[in-house]
Amino acid sequence: MKIYAPNVHLFAFQLHKSSNGNFNISSTEQNFLWNHGDEIVRTTLHQDLHLSQRLDFQKELNNPRVDLLKDAEVINDNYAVSFAGKIPFKQNQDLLVKGFAHPLKLYDSYSLWLNLRRPEQENNQHTDDVDIAFLRQLNPNNCLLIPEKPSFLGQTLLITGWLTGAKDKRISQEIASECLKSIFPDNFQLPPFNRQGELFGSPIFEYGLFSQLANYQHVLIWLFADEEADIKFNQCYQELLDLFFFRTKSVKAYKDSRKVYQKLDLAYRQIETITENLPKIDDQKSRKKLDLTDLQNQLQALPQLALEYTRLLRNLEEYQNTIAINTYNYNERLQHIRDTVDHNIGFLEIFSQKNSPYFQQQITADLGYFRHGSELLDKVIDTIRGIVEIEQAKRDRSLENTIQRLGIGFGGGAIVSGILTQYIDENHNPLAIISPQNPPHPIYATVIFSFLATLFFIGLGWLITKRK
C-alpha cells in the first residue's frame, strides 16, 4: 500500500509547575521534553537541534500562551525550529524529510509540537507516493514514544497522509491499520482500535482505549481525501494543539485518580478490618481478651490514618476539578473551531460529551463510596476512645476498691494486733522457743489472730465496696 506525503505529528506535554504555582519541577526535569525532541531528530536525521539553548523560559511570564523560541531565533515570524535531511529507504534510495519543532508554554505546562514529514513537493515537483512502510523510518527505535516521568503529562501521535485515489477511501480503515503497524516496531503492543469518523470531510481513526489506562497510547490517523481537510487543518492548528493539551491533562488526571483510588481502597479495607476487630464490651470473652495498651496504640495511629485518608479524598476531588476545568477549556476551543470553519466536528466532540463526563461520574461515585470510610473511621476512633475510657474507669474503680479493702483489712488487723500486743506487754512473759516443756508464747496467738482479723476486715471491706 502507498500513501502520499505522510506526516507524523507529535504533540507532547510536560508540567512545569503546579496549578497553584508554588511548585516547579526540578532542574533535571526542566529540559526533559526538549532533550527528547533533540533525541528524536538526532535519531531520525542525525542532526542536533539543541532546543533548550534556543528557548527563553522567562519570556512573558504572565501570559498563558507563549512561544518559547528566543527572539533572535525567530525567522519570518516563524516560532518553530525547522530542519530537513535525507533518510535512506529501499534500494539505497534517499528520501527527503522535513520537519519542525514548535516549543510552547501553555498555562502551567510546556508543549512540544514536533513534525516529521515527506514533503508534497521537491524541486518544484510533486513527490512520489511512498510505501506505508516508510513510516517506520520516521520512528527508529520507537523514539517517538516519550517515557513516563513525574512531570510528563502525555502525548498524542497524529499521522496524516493523502489517499492516492478514490478506491483508497473505500479501504481507508485497512490503510490506517497498516499505518499503525508500520509506525511502531514489530514487537510493540499496538494501541487497540477505538473508533472512526470523519473530520473536515476526510476519514480519521482513533486508537487507544481508556479501559487499558496502564498501557494507554493515543494515536490518530487522518487520511486526507481532498484539499479541504488539509486547508482546514492549517486554519485550526492552534486550536487543535490546545484540544490535545486539554485532553491530555484530563486523561492524566483520570489516570492519576485511579492510583489514588487503589490507595483509598486499601485504606478502606484497613478501616473495615479494624472495625470488625473492635472488642465488644458486653461480651465477656471479648472483655477477657481486651488489651488496653493495644487500644491506646491504635488511638495514636488512627488519627494519622484519618489524616492520610482525608488527604487522598482531597486529591480525588482535585483530579475531578482538573478534569472539569480542562473539559470546559476543551469545549471553548471547539467553539473557536466552529467559528473558524463551517463543518461538522462531531469526531472531536466525543471526548467532551462522552469520555470526560464518564471520568467525572466515576470519580463522583468513588467519592460517594469512600466518604463513608471517613465517617466510619471517625466512629471507630470515637468507639475505641470510649472503650478505653470505660475500661480505664473500670480498672481505676477496681484499683480503688482494692485499695479500700486492703486499707480496711490492714487497719482492722493492726488494731487487733495492737490490743493483743498490749496484753502481752502487761503479762511480761518472755519469748521462748516452742517445745513440750514450754507452752506457746502469747505472741504466736497474736500473730495468728492478727492475720485472721486482717482477713476478716478485708472480707468486710469487700462487702462494703461491693454494696457501693
Residues 157-170: pLDDT tens digits?
Answer: 999 999 987 677 78
User: Rounded to two decimals, what is the model's pTM?
Assistant: 0.82
Q: Which letter does DSSP use for residue 17 in this model?
A: B
Q: Which letter does DSSP use for residue 438 in this model?
A: S
By three-state DSSP, how is residue 98 classified?
strand
Least confident of 287-291, 293-297, 334-338, 429-433: 429-433
**184-231, pLDDT tens digit by residue?**
999 899 999 999 999 999 999 999 999 999 889 999 999 999 999 999
Structure confidence at residue 431 (pLDDT): 47
Q: Which of 256, 247, 244 is nearest to 319 (CA)?
A: 256
Dihedral in degrees, nearest 10, Cα atoms 8, 13, 14, 19: 180
Q: What share of the chain is helix, strand, coil (3-state, %, to 5)?
A: 60, 20, 25
Q: Which residues contact 111 (CB under 8 A, 6 or more apart)?
A: 11, 12, 13, 14, 103, 104, 105, 241, 245
**107-148, pLDDT tens digit by residue?**
999 999 999 999 999 988 999 999 999 999 999 999 999 998
By three-state DSSP, how is residue 50 classified?
coil
The rounded distance, in Å, linking the Cα atoms of 46 and 265 is: 49
The rounded distance, in Å, linking the Cα atoms of 67 and 380 is: 55
Structure confidence at residue 261 (pLDDT): 95
